[in-house]
Amino acid sequence: MSSDNLKKTIGVALGVCLVASILVSTAAVELKPIQTKNAKLDLLINILEAGDLYSPGVDIQQTYNEKISAELIELETGKPLTESEYTAELTPEKFDLKSWASSPELGTPIPSEQDLADIKRQPKYMAVYTVKNTDGEIEKYIMPIMGTGLWSTLYGFIALDKDLKTIKGFTFYEHGETPGLGGEVDNPKWKQQWVGKKAFDDNWDVKIQVLKGTVDETDPNKQFKVDGLSGSTLTTRGVDNLVRYWLGENGYGHFIDYLRGES
C-alpha cells in the first residue's frame, strides 16, 4: 500500500470516528432529560408499590401527589426537619439516597463496627414518605433503604404500618444482582411475603430476618421470618443485613422512637 493510500485510509477512519463520537455525544445529551424523567418515574412507582398504591394504568404523578406526603428527618435524632430548616438543596424533592450519602456536606461515614449493611456512608438526612387516608390520618410510613448484596448495592423502600411494627411493603428499584438468583429480589411473589410480617417484637427489638431456607409454617415465630432467595446465599444475607440495619438504632431507630413518643 502506498503512503498516499495509507494516509487516505487513516483519514477516513479518523473521520468516521469523529462523526461517530459526535453522534454518540449528541444522543447522550438529547436522551439525558428522558433518562432522568424515566428514573424519577420509576422511583415514584416503587414508592407507590411499597405503599400498595400502584397498579398498571394508574396516574403515577397524580396518585403520588394525592396520597403521599414527604418530609426530611435527621437520622441522628430521628426528628423531622421544619420547613425553616430546608435549603435550596436540602428538601424532600431534592433527596437522592446515592448522591446524598456520598456528599461531604449531606453524608457521613459509618464506623465499620456499626456498618451491618456494608455501605460505608449514609445521608445525615433521609426522606420519609407517609400514606394518609381521606381523613388525613397516617396509614403507613415508607422509608428508603440501601445495602450491599453479592454484586451490587441494592436501593429500595420498606413500608411500615402506622403501628410501626407491621411491614406493609418492600421493594427494590436499583440493583445489579444475578438474574434468576439474587435478582429474585424483584420477584413480586417474594416481595409479597414481606407484607404482614412483624419487624419488631414486643420489646421493640428488631426481629425480622431473611432465612437461608424457607419459613417453617409450624414455627411460632414465623411472623418474624421471610424465605431466603434460592441459590443466592450472599444476596439473602445482604438483604437481611440491610433491613436489620435500617430498622436499628443507626438507621430509622431514633425516628421510630420519636414517633412512638409522639403516640
* Average pLDDT value for residue range 206-222: 95
Q: What ranges do the domains of the chain cover? A: 67-262
Contact 153, 175 (CB under 8 A): yes
Q: Residue ranges of the alpha helices (H) in 119-160?
A: none
- Between the CA of residue 225 and those of 59, 151, 155, 189, what are the distances in Å? 34, 24, 21, 15
**Helix or strand or coil: residue 185?**
helix
- Between the CA of residue 148 and those of 119, 153, 174, 195, 216, what are the distances in Å? 6, 4, 12, 22, 27
The angle subtended at Cα 249 by Cα 243 and Cα 250, nearest 5°, is: 75
Residue 230 has phi, psi (to 5 degrees) of -60, 125
Q: 65: which 3 cell numbers?
A: 401527589
Q: What is the pLDDT of residue 31?
A: 47
Torsion (CA) 74, 78, 80, 82 in degrees, nearest 10:
-60
Query: What predicted TM-score, i.e. pTM, was given to this entire model?
Result: 0.85
Give the model confidence (pLDDT) of 15-67 as tens digits: 777 776 776 666 555 545 555 666 788 889 999 999 999 998 899 999 999 99
Residue 143 has pLDDT above 60, yes or no: yes
What does the H/E/C string look like for 40-104? HHHHHHHHHHHCCCCCCCCCHHHHHHHHEEEEEEECCCCCECCHHHCCCCCCHHHCCHHHHHHCC
Give the model confidence (pLDDT) of 70-103 as tens digits: 999 999 999 999 999 999 999 999 999 999 999 9
Residue 132 has pLDDT above 60, yes or no: yes
pLDDT band of residue 182 (cuts 50, 70, 90) is confident
pLDDT band of residue 191 (cuts 50, 70, 90) is very high
